[in-house]
Structure formats: structure tokens, C-alpha cells
Structure 1
Amino acid sequence: MYTEAFFDSLSIYLILGLIFVTILIMFECGYQLAQRFPSKQISGSISPMATGLASLLAFILAITFSMAAVKSGERKQLVLAEANAVGTAILRASLLAEPYRSNSRALLREYVTIRVVEDPEQKKAVLNQVIIDSETLHLKLWNQAIQAHDSTSPELLLLYISALNDVIDIHTERVNKGLRGRIPISIWFTLGLLTFLTVGLNGIQVGAEDKGRALVAALPFALAFSLVLTLIVELDRPERSIIEISQQPLIDLRDSLDKVLYPDQQPLLPQVSKD
């Protein structure tokens, strides 16, 4: 089950502000430290170290961003894979004998309905209930498949069970990759430490030159790091604020179920008069 961490409950804009302010504080601490021991020699000595530390930070940032982006892409692909798997299971439910055909179709239709939560404000509140309801429906669908064993051809039943297994497996993948597949805390710690060391060292370098804080450069510098770190945080969060994973494949499937399940009940197109 999903237990929301304190950091995940914060607004992404608040997180951006906190990171930005923290980076500015680290820069100011480095600047003030250099002001107490002003020396242009310090600036020259620090410059190679600051460059090396910035390069190392850029490397860790690239790795972390890549991890978050890959995980986000996988989550998006799983939504499409789930829509395809459920659609296939609904079609193959037609191979079952009655009443298991109608019962399985109804359960799959209910499954699609509960999987789609379009209101962003309700997602966190109903997330755990959606997982529980989904797993309950898995058991009901499996029981229907077992009960259909005596009245359905083994070959046809196997086709349906294969599709049903895909639905269950993809649900498990979505739960694990969406809720538990987070960037490890050790990487976050390393990234944060390197960021603050790099910013602090740059503050020392600027302060040692004794030419002012150069806020025209320092503010964009801090903002750039803040935006990148916030973007990584947003990509890693289970519930997004500004970068939503589209549920459109499941929405399209839900909206098209009547055509799939009841093709004979679709209204006929009006005849166009030739007069």
C-alpha cells in the first residue's frame, strides 16, 4: 500500500522555493567565509577544485535525471500496456460460456472504471482503495475462469487466462514501479551534498575575489540548479503536480466499452436523404 511521505505531500512549488533558498544560503555562507579571509590566492587555488566538483555534480545530475526520466517513461508505457491487456481480456471473455462470459465482462468493465481517476485532487485519497478494489476484482475474475473450466474448451479458456494473467501482472508492475520504484535515498543524499558543496565553493571563490556577490550571475545560477533538482523530484514522485502521466489509453478504453461489449445495440447512423 502507498503511504505518503511528508516530502511527497509538499507542493512542488514549495519544494522549488525551499531548494532555491537553500542554495542561496549555501552560496552566501561560502561568500561570508571568504570575506573573513580575503585573498586572491584562495580564488586561484579554489578555481580548479570548483570546476572539478561542478563536473562531478553534473555527472550525478545526469545519472539521476536519467533514472527519473526512464522510470517516468516506464510508468507511461504501463498505462498503455494495461489498456491493451484489459481490452484483449474483454474480447477474449467472449470465448467463455455463459454465464461466465457476461460475468467476466461486467467485472472487467468495473475494473476499467475504478482504474480511471480523472480528478487529480482525488487520486491520493482513493489510491489505496483502488489497489484493494483492483486486487479483489482479480480474484473474482480468476474464480470466474476456474468455474468456466467445465463448460469451456480448454484451448479457448487458455487464451482468456493468458490475457487475464497479463492484466494481473501489469497491475503488479504499476504498483511496484509507480509507488515503490523510487530513486534511492543514498543517491538523493549524494546529490544534495554535492550540490551544496559546489554552491558553497563557488560562493567562496566569488567572495575571495572581493568584487561583490555578483547577484546577476548568482541568482540565475541558483535558479538553474533549483529547477533541475525540482524536475527530478517531480519525475520521481508517485503523484505528480505539474507533469501528469496521461491516463488517456484507459479513458479511451472505458469510453469505448459499450461498442465492444454491445455492438448490436449501437444506434444506426441516420440515413441521408437523396432528395
Structure 2
Amino acid sequence: MFEDELLYGLSSVMIAVGLFVTIIICNEMGFRAGRFIQARTDSEVKALTGSIQGSILGLLALLLGFTFSMSMQRYDNRSMALIDEANSIGTAVLRIELLPAEYQQPASELFEQYLELRVAIGQLDLTKHQQRNDYNKKIANIQAELWTLAVEATNVDPRPVTTGAFVKSLNDVIDSQGKRNALLQMHVPEVVLMLLFVVFISSGGIMGYSAGLSGQRIIAPIVLVSLLITLIVFIIIDLDRPKRGVIQVNQAGMVELLESIKTVR
């Protein structure tokens, strides 16, 4: 999915730095253009330019809020999906004791291997497709082994309050893994980010142009505003990059669960 996108292969830091440099350049070009036509521009045009500048900055604020909300929502969804998966696995591990005695040790060993793989793939960059495919195949094999074990245990003990409870929890584990994988593929559409960048760069140009018409260069405020907006854009992009950006979903719940299983064994 991500192979067809232009931005995902670039680091969020590189995009933010490039965006900041671009807006400063556009601001300088806008300032020089404003100074060039300053003498031939009346006060009404200057006032109109100020209104246009305010409109573009308002549109930029709207887009920033919209895209930040989208990326933050996806980050929260991924965090909750990890918590749900950890809870599902923890419940299934506890219900291993409801299985017939001969199936408890194999099930426990399989869940330990399963958790090790889930923790490992959780730390792997989404752009490393081959490695992730290898992990997903191993995870699918263990899921199949666990399901086969559950079916065999059901034939020995078909009661719903014992083996049936384990089967239900195992089904929840598989569903939660699929949900988490699906959420990893969901992010802010690239066309929305592109629109945000265009408006951001345009706002830098119009601020420089307006300053050029007034004949006064205001370097510090413009650089400060550009830097702050660039930082917000960086956070938006980074939140939207599971397994790749600086901000990552905390896997402490999965790691602690794996350690607890190893300790019990």
C-alpha cells in the first residue's frame, strides 16, 4: 500500500525541514515581489492583500486542526487496538487452565511463541515488507496450530464452560490481531497532506508579499510563526506513521504480558 505514496518513504524530520526551508524561500520571494510593485499599488489593494492573507491563514488553521485530529484519532485507535490485543491474549492464556491437562503445556508454549512474534513485529518498520511478511506467516502458522489444538481439546471436552471458553478467547485473539493489522494501514490520505503543504507554503508567500507592500520586513515574527506551524505539521506526520516515526505506540502491555508468561512457566 505504502509503496505507491510519495511521502511515506521520506522521514518526518526531512519533510519538516524541507517544508520550513521552502516557506522561508517563498516568504522572501513574496517580499521581493511586494517591494517591486509597492510604488504602483494603492492603499485599497494593500488592504485587500491583508484580507487575503488573513483568509489564507484561517484556511491553514482549519486544515491544521482537521489533519491533526485525523492523525491523533488514528494514533489513539492503534493504541487501543494494542491494549485490546494484549487483553485478549492475557484472557486466552488464563483460560488455558480450562483445557484438558494434556493440552495445557502445548498451548502455553504456543502462546509464548505467539507473543514473542507479536512483540517483534510490533517494533518492525512498515516499509520492511519482506520481514513483516515472514513474521506474519509465522504468526498465521501458530494461530493455525492453536486452532487445531482447540478443536482437538473440544473433541475431548466439549463443555462450553471449559474448552468452549478457551475457543472463544482464542477467536478474540485472532480477531484482535486482524483489527490491529488493519489499523496499521489506515492513515491521513496523502492528498490531504499535500493540500496542507500547499496552503502552508502559500501562506508564507502571502505574508512576505504583504510585508513587501508595506515596505517593512518583519523577519523574527514570520520565522517564529513558520517554525511553530512546521512543528505542528511534523507532529501530524509523525503521529500518522506507525512503526516509522519518532512517536510510537507504547508496547509495554505486550512486553509485560510476555514476561509474565515466561515467569509463570
Q: What's the TM-score once normalised by structure 2's chain length?
A: 0.88
1:75 correspondence with 2:75: no
Structure-2 separation of matches of 1:97 and 1:244: 40
**Which amino acid in 2 is paired with 1:49?**
I
**Which runs of no fewer than 5 residues in structure 2 stay unpaired?**
none
1:127 correspondence with 2:120: no
**Which amino acid in 1 is paired with 2:159?**
P
**Which runs of no fewer than 5 residues in structure 1 stay unpaired?**
263-275
Moved more, 115-124 or 13-22: 115-124
Moved more, 23-32 or 126-135: 126-135
Alignment of 1:36-185 (within 5 A): 36-38=36-38, 39=41, 41=43, 42-117=45-120, 125=128, 126-155=131-160, 156-178=162-184, 180-185=185-190
Equivalent residue number for residue 270 of structure 1: none
Equivalent residue number for residue 243 of structure 1: 247
**Which amino acid in 1 is paired with 2:200?**
T
1:40–1:209 CA contact under 8 A, matched in 2: no
Structure-1 separation of matches of 2:83 and 2:197: 34
CA 1:81–1:101 in 2, change beyond 3 Å: closer, same or farther? Answer: same
Count of aligned positions: 259
Structure-2 separation of matches of 1:152 and 1:249: 32
Structure-2 separation of matches of 1:59 and 1:123: 30
2:95–2:166 CA contact under 8 A, matched in 1: yes
1:197 correspondence with 2:206: no
Structure-2 separation of matches of 1:40 and 1:60: 32
2:2–2:127 CA contact under 8 A, matched in 1: no
Please list the CA deviations of residues 27-56 of structure 1 after superposition, one character each: whole Å capped at 9, or x if unmatched.
123222222211353321111121122112
Moved more, 161-170 or 125-134: 125-134
Structure-2 separation of matches of 1:25 and 1:137: 55
2:126–2:242 CA contact under 8 A, matched in 1: no
1:76–1:245 CA contact under 8 A, matched in 2: yes
Say which of 207, 213, 216 aligns to 1:211.
216
Equivalent residue number for residue 258 of structure 2: 254
Q: What's the TM-score once normalised by structure 1's chain length?
A: 0.85
CA positional deviation for 1:90: 0.8
Structure-2 separation of matches of 1:71 and 1:19: 23
Equivalent residue number for residue 266 of structure 1: none
2:126–2:132 CA contact under 8 A, matched in 1: yes
Equivalent residue number for residue 8 of structure 1: 8
1:117–1:123 CA contact under 8 A, matched in 2: no
Please list the CA deviations of residues 40-80 of structure 1 after superposition, one character each: whole Å capped at 9, or x if unmatched.
53321111121122112111110110111111111112222
1:43–1:206 CA contact under 8 A, matched in 2: no
CA positional deviation for 1:224: 1.1
Moved more, 57-66 or 22-31: 22-31
The 3-state SS of whatever aligns with 1:149 is helix
The 3-state SS of whatever aligns with 1:238 is coil
CA positional deviation for 1:17: 1.0
Identity of aligned residues (%): 25
Give the CA RMSD over aligned residues. Answer: 2.3
Please list the CA deviations of residues 78-124 of structure 1 after superposition, one character each: whole Å capped at 9, or x if unmatched.
22211111011111122122433222211111011111139968786
